[in-house]
Chains A and B, each alone.
Chain A
Amino acid sequence: MKIGVFVCHCGTNIAGTVDVERVSQAASKFPKVKHSASYKYMCSNPGQNLVKDAIKKHKLDRIVIASCSPSLHEKTFRKCVEAAGINPYLIEMANIREHCSWVHKDREKATQKAIELTRLAVSKVSRNKPLEKTYTTIEKKVLIIGGGISGIQAAIDIAFANYPAVIVEREPSIGGRMARFDKTFPTLDCAACILTPKMVTVSQSEHVTMHTYSEIEEVSGFVGNFTVKIRKKARSVDINKCTGCGACYNKCPVKVPSEFDMGLGKRKAIYTPFPQAVPNVPVIDRENCLYFKTKKCGICKKICTVGAIDYDMKDEVIEEKFGAIIVATGFNQFDHSVYGEYGYGKHKDMITGLHFERMVNSSGPTGGKIIRPSDGKEVRDVVFIQCVGSRDEQKGLPYCSRLCCMYTAKHALLLREHNKDSQAYVFYIDIRAAGKNYEEFVKKVQDEYGAIYLRGRVSRIFEKGGKLIVRGADTLSGAQIEIKADLVVLATGLVAQKDAPSLAQMLHIPYDKNNLFTEAHPKLAPVETITSGIFLTGACQSPKDIPDTVATASAASVKALGLMVQDKLAREPLIASVNQDLCSGCLACLKACPFSAIEEDEIEDRKLRRKRTVAKVREAVCTGCGNCTAVCRMAAIDLEGFTNTQIMEEVETL
């Protein structure tokens, strides 16, 4: 065995605190070390060449690089030694930067520590084994969870590259939040006019399959080979027979508040959420349907000329395989009923921005009239309150929801356009209009549309004389102000979907304290997750407006397509394995594994002459985290790259 040790200066990052020459000299005297050297930047081309040349010259067969964290450059040096003919798993990194020079000041002690760290790496590498990468196939199909603008854009991009995409959407139609919007800032083009063509594109694409009114039930597998169970909820209408004529919902006698119209309008018990719904196939809301409640009625079935109504339809669970998953589950609205000062959400003439979108929409429940929900009268004075929930650590969210400044400005503009005599008052903390043509838009609303912007918080809203009295502070003039409003519109913040944590757990992706899904790196991997093959787009990761959502959708699609175009996928060999002869079958490892990579197995015990239960690693799923090896009382589990022998060798060297 001939070990080579290479000590990196990392400019002054290491050499500034550690005497690298002494480390190199000390290393040359460690057992089995045949050669040691130091260099200014070991990761640079000349540095790597120095390693390669030394391997050839001194016939080295194992390498230790004393430099930075393996997470930064282990891959670099694996490639380097592989090029020189050594198995890439016969190297070890001694982290003398993050673990030493960066955190210490005393040069002497730091040098001593660097020497010790290098000594450990040398002893560990002496027990390394050559390992080979394994290869798996890739299922050439992408699952997209969520059929809002995010999921729609991703599906279009995947389909454009001629790969199949499957959208799973829990509502009866795709379209998501954007389908509810009236106009979009800052250009004021109508949301439906730009969204509907995309919805149609998706529905007509030969590469896209849509499962609407469906939910994800179970996800297993790993990058390239995910197995997903999808629950197709009983629609009670045969999607293949229905022609979308609408006779059923025209005749349905049951009226309930429409979720799509935020309860401002009504829908039937058999319904499509909105006229442009895709697919244009109704669904029966069984909780409110007379037939399901009383077994009477049945009008829709009688009236349907193609026999599409099926009261006996049952939920169907299908299983499909995917190579990549794009999560596009969007957002929910902050629940403003926590604010006692705003009346705990009990005032009738207080609505949220999403209600306003429906109201101002000419095909909405009020036909585009902005009215008071309490008495149906048209409004004159409207108070908009920004940051409801957002930027409120006390009762709401610690973060800024990013779009409320812009949509409130848009609402103030639309209010004046719909009603020339109206007056908008906007309470704000700061105006955050960072986007192309955003600031200009807010200025326009203030200058040309006469919206009065008041910098301050609202302390109380109460009803008096049929109006809502909004009391707040105008911090710029220092005055307390009171506005008699016909309508109050709350710019409620964006929050994660209620079931975001359970979906994250199903997908094995992390989420933060606000239940937003966590990206692999906040700057350099914003659409990836740490679970390879699973990507994020849109507001499920953080609040995003439409342009950002579409951009991340296309970014996530490119990442997914990057997998689709590969023939096979290399997998690291650094995974766990169970010595089943030693295994006692306690299965503590099964509970400790966060990736469900351990399963029960049965072996024939020759001594006991009977079968017994043991653990087994599902190699394809194992990520090599090492949890199982730590809990195994019998030391029956070994993790390649961190075997018990390697660790013991290090400990004994200490």
Chain B
Amino acid sequence: MKYAYFPGCSLHSTAKEYDLSTKEVARALGIELIEIPDWICCGATPAHITMHLLSLALPVKNLLKAKEMDSFEVVTCCAACFSRLKIANHFMQNDNKHRKNVEEIVGEPYKGEVKVRHFLDVLINVFGLKNLTERVTNKLSGLKVACYYGCLLTRPPEITQLDDLEEPHLMDDLMKVLDAEPVKWPYKTECCGASFSLTKTDIVLKLSGDILQMAHDEGAQAIVVACPLCQSNLDLRQAAIKKKYKKDFNIPILYFTQLVGLSLGIEPKKLGLDKHIVNPLPLLKERKVLVDK
């Protein structure tokens, strides 16, 4: 298994632990991830609110770089990168007018031939849950988690083609394999407030606060995510939520890759579990799922 790896800006900065844990898990499972050299912006928010064409040309440029690596499959972890790359492919495959314009900008023909996958998809559908079960050495038994998918992973469904739109279950399936207990909860695809984090923080405090409340009410000890922005809103804003709504949730927000890493027996530090605002280590210690080394 060999893939061109597109980390995107978050995984090189605020979501460093997502990057670390992904690479660790991939290494442990023998999935080769080769970072696309000289990759550029995926075309997310700053681009697509500026200009539609720019939001297509940027991801296409990245996909062309992947093609040069003789790789016809790109793997990404960030939900926004995943969305932009998938949407760009969709337009290149189905819209002649946009394809011509984009080809003129990037200076090369491109018909959407480089396949884009989310790392979740690779783990579950390529590596396979059955194979993964055999590799789990450190079961996360008794850890109750709420799997939170956010908005971009499943939408728009005809483009992402990843999971059920209203009731996604891929992460829940994955958690079961690790012997963690995914709770049944209704907020899997609620809005976390997304990029209002910087411009209208109040909105994020309300929306992310509601998500934390629901997870708490349904008995989750941690929330599992697959998107850097979801992670940052839910993790980073807990202090402000506590101040505004007088609710101290103290719920760790973890990437699915970190929990997979733990179950494979990888050291917490290598998975970046020390990089969170809400420290997950006390919970993981209490649940006896930390690896002693």
Which residues of A are interface residues toward B (Cβ below 8 A)? Answer: 339-341, 343-344, 460, 462-464, 469
Chain A residue with Cβ nearest B190: A460
Chain B residue with Cβ nearest A344: B167
* Sampled A-B contacts (17; CB under 8 Å): A339-B166, A340-B164, A340-B165, A340-B166, A340-B167, A341-B166, A343-B167, A344-B166, A344-B167, A460-B166, A460-B186, A462-B186, A463-B186, A464-B186, A464-B214, A464-B217, A469-B186
Interface residues on B, range: under 10
Contact with A along B208-234 (1 / 0, CB 8 A): 000000100100000000000000000
CB proximity of A469 to chain B, nearest CB, Å: 7
Interface residues of B in 143-165 (CB under 8 A from A): 164-165
Give chain B residues whose Cβ lies under 8 Å from the Cβ of A460.
Answer: 166, 186
Give chain A residues whose Cβ lies under 8 Å from the Cβ of B214.
Answer: 464
Contact with A along B160-196 (1 / 0, CB 8 A): 0000111100000000000000000010000000000
CB proximity of A479 to chain B, nearest CB, Å: 14
- Complex Cα distance A339/B164, Å? 11
Chain B residue with Cβ nearest A462: B186
Give chain A residues whose Cβ lies under 8 Å from the Cβ of B217.
Answer: 464
Chain A residue with Cβ nearest B166: A340
The 3 closest A-B pairs by CB, nearest first: A340-B166, A462-B186, A341-B166
Chain A residue with Cβ nearest B157: A340
- Complex Cα distance A460/B187, Å? 10
Give chain B residues whose Cβ lies under 8 Å from the Cβ of A341.
Answer: 166
- The CB with the most chain B CB atoms within 10 A, among A339, A343, A344, A462, is that of A462
Give chain A residues whose Cβ lies under 8 Å from the Cβ of B165.
Answer: 340
Chain B residue with Cβ nearest A343: B167
Give chain B residues whose Cβ lies under 8 Å from the Cβ of A340.
Answer: 164-167
- Complex Cα distance A460/B167, Å? 11
- The CB with the most chain A CB atoms within 10 A, among B165, B166, B217, is that of B166
Number of A-B residue pairs with CB-CB distance less than 8 Å in the complex they form: 17
Give chain A residues whose Cβ lies under 8 Å from the Cβ of B167.
Answer: 340, 343-344
Give chain A residues whose Cβ lies under 8 Å from the Cβ of B166.
Answer: 339-341, 344, 460
Q: Interface majority SS on B: helix, strand, loop or mixed?
A: loop
CB proximity of B252 to chain A, nearest CB, Å: 23
- Complex Cα distance A463/B217, Å? 12
Give chain B residues whose Cβ lies under 8 Å from the Cβ of A469.
Answer: 186
- Complex Cα distance A463/B183, Å? 13
- Complex Cα distance A341/B190, Å? 11
Give chain B residues whose Cβ lies under 8 Å from the Cβ of A463.
Answer: 186
Chain B residue with Cβ nearest A460: B186
- The CB with the most chain B CB atoms within 10 A, among A340, A341, A463, A469, is that of A340
- Complex Cα distance A646/B231, Å? 79
CB proximity of A347 to chain B, nearest CB, Å: 11
CB proximity of A160 to chain B, nearest CB, Å: 53
Chain A residue with Cβ nearest B154: A340
CB proximity of B146 to chain A, nearest CB, Å: 13
- The CB with the most chain A CB atoms within 10 A, among B164, B167, B217, is that of B167
Further 4 A-B residue pairs, CB within 8 A, beyond A340-B167, A344-B166, A344-B167? A340-B164, A340-B166, A341-B166, A343-B167
- Complex Cα distance A464/B214, Å? 9
CB proximity of B249 to chain A, nearest CB, Å: 17
CB proximity of A394 to chain B, nearest CB, Å: 11
- Complex Cα distance A464/B219, Å? 12
- Complex Cα distance A462/B188, Å? 11
CB proximity of A463 to chain B, nearest CB, Å: 7
Chain B residue with Cβ nearest A342: B166
- Complex Cα distance A339/B165, Å? 10
- Complex Cα distance A469/B214, Å? 12
Chain A residue with Cβ nearest B187: A462
Chain A residue with Cβ nearest B184: A463
- Complex Cα distance A344/B168, Å? 12
Chain B residue with Cβ nearest A339: B166
Give chain B residues whose Cβ lies under 8 Å from the Cβ of A464.
Answer: 186, 214, 217
Chain A residue with Cβ nearest B214: A464
CB proximity of B262 to chain A, nearest CB, Å: 30
Chain B residue with Cβ nearest A465: B217
CB proximity of B232 to chain A, nearest CB, Å: 24
Chain A residue with Cβ nearest B186: A462
- Complex Cα distance A464/B183, Å? 13
CB proximity of A486 to chain B, nearest CB, Å: 17
- Complex Cα distance A612/B129, Å? 65
- Complex Cα distance A343/B186, Å? 9
- Complex Cα distance A649/B277, Å? 91
- Complex Cα distance A264/B149, Å? 36
- Complex Cα distance A525/B164, Å? 45
CB proximity of B268 to chain A, nearest CB, Å: 34
- Complex Cα distance A344/B167, Å? 9
- Complex Cα distance A339/B166, Å? 8
Give chain B residues whose Cβ lies under 8 Å from the Cβ of A344.
Answer: 166-167
- Complex Cα distance A344/B186, Å? 13
Interface residues of B in 97-138 (CB under 8 A from A): none
- Complex Cα distance A463/B214, Å? 11
CB proximity of A497 to chain B, nearest CB, Å: 28
Give chain A residues whose Cβ lies under 8 Å from the Cβ of B186.
Answer: 460, 462-464, 469
Give chain A residues whose Cβ lies under 8 Å from the Cβ of B164.
Answer: 340
CB proximity of A481 to chain B, nearest CB, Å: 15
CB proximity of B158 to chain A, nearest CB, Å: 11
CB proximity of B164 to chain A, nearest CB, Å: 7
CB proximity of B265 to chain A, nearest CB, Å: 36
Chain B residue with Cβ nearest A341: B166
Chain B residue with Cβ nearest A461: B186
Chain A residue with Cβ nearest B167: A340
Give chain B residues whose Cβ lies under 8 Å from the Cβ of A462.
Answer: 186
- Complex Cα distance A340/B166, Å? 5
CB proximity of B172 to chain A, nearest CB, Å: 15
- Complex Cα distance A341/B164, Å? 11
CB proximity of A144 to chain B, nearest CB, Å: 43
- Complex Cα distance A576/B112, Å? 54
Contact with A along B267-280 (1 / 0, CB 8 A): 00000000000000
- Complex Cα distance A340/B186, Å? 11
- Complex Cα distance A187/B104, Å? 68
Chain B residue with Cβ nearest A346: B167
Chain A residue with Cβ nearest B164: A340
CB proximity of B167 to chain A, nearest CB, Å: 5
- Complex Cα distance A341/B165, Å? 9
- Complex Cα distance A270/B186, Å? 42
CB proximity of B161 to chain A, nearest CB, Å: 15
CB proximity of B3 to chain A, nearest CB, Å: 30
- Complex Cα distance A339/B186, Å? 14
- Complex Cα distance A344/B169, Å? 14
CB proximity of A287 to chain B, nearest CB, Å: 32
Contact with A along B191-210 (1 / 0, CB 8 A): 00000000000000000000
Give chain B residues whose Cβ lies under 8 Å from the Cβ of A343.
Answer: 167
- Complex Cα distance A42/B279, Å? 93
- Complex Cα distance A460/B166, Å? 9
- The CB with the most chain A CB atoms within 10 A, among B165, B186, B217, is that of B186
- Complex Cα distance A469/B186, Å? 10
Chain B residue with Cβ nearest A469: B186
- Complex Cα distance A511/B166, Å? 33
- Complex Cα distance A343/B165, Å? 12
- Complex Cα distance A516/B214, Å? 45
- Complex Cα distance A182/B96, Å? 57
Chain A residue with Cβ nearest B218: A464
- Complex Cα distance A469/B217, Å? 14
Chain A residue with Cβ nearest B165: A340
CB proximity of A461 to chain B, nearest CB, Å: 8
CB proximity of A138 to chain B, nearest CB, Å: 54
CB proximity of B180 to chain A, nearest CB, Å: 22
CB proximity of A490 to chain B, nearest CB, Å: 16
CB proximity of B209 to chain A, nearest CB, Å: 15
- Complex Cα distance A164/B186, Å? 59
